[in-house]
Amino acid sequence: KAGCDPKRQIVNGNVKDNFWMMGETGPCGPCSELHVDLTPEGDTDGKLVNMDSDLCIEIWNLVFIQYNAEADGSFRDLPAKHVDTGMGFERAVSIYQGTDGFKDFSKKPTNYATDAFQPIFRKLEELSGRTYNDIYPESVDADKAALSDEMKEAIAFRVIADHIRTLSFSLADGILLGNNGRNYVLRRILRRAVRYGRTLGFSGDKPFMPELVDTLVEQMSGVFPELAERSDAIKENLQREETSFNETLDRGLSMFEQKVADGGDELDGAFAFQLYDTFGFPIDLTELLCAERGLKVDMKKFEQLMEEQREKGRAARTRELVRAADISTDTVTEFTGFDEDVTEAKVLEIHQQPDHLLVITDKTPYYVEMGGQMGDQGTLMHEGEQFHVTAVQQLGEARAHSVSLEANIIVGDTVTLSLETERRRPIEAHHTATHLLHLALHEIVSEDASQQGSMVSRTRLRFDFNSGAVSNDKLESIEEKVNAWISAGDTVSWTEVQHADIQGRKDIQQFFGDKYGDVVRVVQVGGEASQLDGYSMELCGGTHVKNTADLGIFKIKSEGA
């Protein structure tokens, strides 16, 4: 029936249910929720709203962001107000598919019965040889020790399917598994899924989680292309983490079984801490193991030992907050990035910033932004943990990597620095293209069309030069010439020489406004490496491709003053 009866379909809310806050402070405001009444008659008049009923499900929320919650408990009006709205896609799908298009209300809708999860269930069935049954315990508080094997397997299917989605999307977004903060949340999720894998017969001899990624990519990458773009990285991370955890899981489970065989209805908190500290068992995994046997964990003792460990860690890693601009260092960082994408390095200094750490190492493959070339990004790995390197800065002769405050490293640690090659390679291609463009300008426009600046990024290049307007015919000729050099597949090489030895050579581009040291680096295209006989030669400290064929196709998008 069209229309809305306000008396029946609009329910007045309260601050508890209808006021949204992102935290103790920050943007907030009242909200209006949309619920679907799934009772067969659909005539509960809103009595089931916010009553945790499976027959009245919230599918949409509209938050009227108009205040900012202050630290003193007050609310300040925001100068710009907006509506933040979001729908639960899987809830909507479960309602539509679970009611056969709103025709059959005899069953309770569930996300797991929808085609959003079925492909993963089918792949899990193929890998495990088990069959998924869409059955559920009578309540979330059901005694896990009393569940049938069939019910335990059904739960395992659902946990693994849910967790592979969480892990894959998070890894695609660059959040890695680790020991702190959100990184540890992901590690706990992975280890929980691996433990449930044992219920389905996965022995630990071979990781099974990476085997599910392609199924998810095929299903979701049309809407989330980053899943396909980073699928190899997702699988590599899952493979490494699952393999690592499997090495200790069996020993930990064996110790657990021996401990519970001693009897009693509570697991010693000190033993739970040992499982966590020695075998990497998240406490919720230990609680799950205990629940399956009708046991509880002495959480008071566990938390006491955890806090003692945190205090020791805080004392060992207390760092003084120093602004980057005020950092003075005599450290010299060796740059290895001309030849290496991955470098093992030693941490020499750590400087804490308000929202990140600056980590200075003895060497690095990371290029710092200079000469128009964008700086590198990538990862820093230490003892199996990966942290995203978001930027790199030059501090004197040292290079400082910006990493998360959660990075569990100290001075003296050995770390592995890895470039994000998906970012570096296009930057290198664009940089080499600027050299070819510069040469083409000299040959087609004028020898006086000298470079005044450039910008080289992952997606494009900009080349600044002093000249009048360039005609369309000449622009086409420039494109043709650069693409001809690209098609030739000429070698790109570089060599270091004494500046005094090449200072008078007009065939080597030198920018006289720049200051050069005694030793300079010449990048050449064509010719024989180190012989300084290429058709394009420039003094340059940036990174480049190894062959012009790596550039693909060169296209001028625009030209102007």
Q: Write out pLDDT tens, residues 11-27.
A: 888 888 899 998 888 89
Q: Write out pLDDT tens, residues 422-477.
A: 999 999 999 999 999 999 999 998 887 778 788 999 999 999 887 777 899 999 99
List for the chain the helix, strand, coil content (%; round to 5).
40, 25, 40
Cα(342)–Cα(334) distance, integer angstroms: 13
| Average pLDDT of the residues in 479-491 | 96
pLDDT of residue 400: 94
Whole-Å CA distances, 174 to 19, 183, 209, 389? 32, 10, 18, 11
One-letter identity of residue 175 = I
User: Given a cut of 50, is residue 317 above it in pLDDT?
Assistant: no
H helix or E strand, kind and range, residue 58: strand 56-69
**Is there a contact between 140 and 158 (Cβ–Cβ < 8 Å)?**
no
> How many residues comprise the chain?
561
| Average pLDDT of the residues in 147-165 | 95
DSSP assignment of 336-350, as one string?
-TTT-SEEEEEEEEE
**Is there a contact between 34 and 50 (Cβ–Cβ < 8 Å)?**
no
Cα(30)–Cα(247) distance, integer angstroms: 50
**Is there a contact between 376 and 394 (Cβ–Cβ < 8 Å)?**
no
> CB under 8 Å to 318, separation ≥6 — which residues?
none
> Counting beta carbons within 10 angstroms of the beta carbon of residue 355, is it exposed (0 to 12), middle (13 to 18) or buried (19 or more)?
exposed
Class of domain 425-551: alpha beta
> Which fold, 324-419?
Elongation Factor Tu (Ef-tu); domain 3 (2.40.30)
Q: Write out pLDDT tens, residues 341-366.
A: 999 999 999 988 878 899 999 999 99
| CATH for 6-98 (3.10.129.10, 3.50.50.60, 3.30.930.10, 2.30.30.280) | 3.30.930.10
With tokens 């691996």, the residue in question is 194
pTM above 0.85, yes or no: no
Return the higher-pLDDT residue of 292 and 129.
Answer: 129
Closest CA to 230 of 394, 423, 95: 423
Residue ranges of domains in the chain? 6-98, 117-315, 324-419, 425-551
User: Given a cut of 50, is residue 36 above it in pLDDT?
Assistant: yes
Sign of CA dihedral 217, 218, 222, 223: negative
Q: Write out pLDDT tens, residues 38-82.
A: 988 887 888 898 888 888 999 999 999 999 998 888 999 999 999
For residue 514, name the pLDDT band (cuts at 50, 70, 90).
low
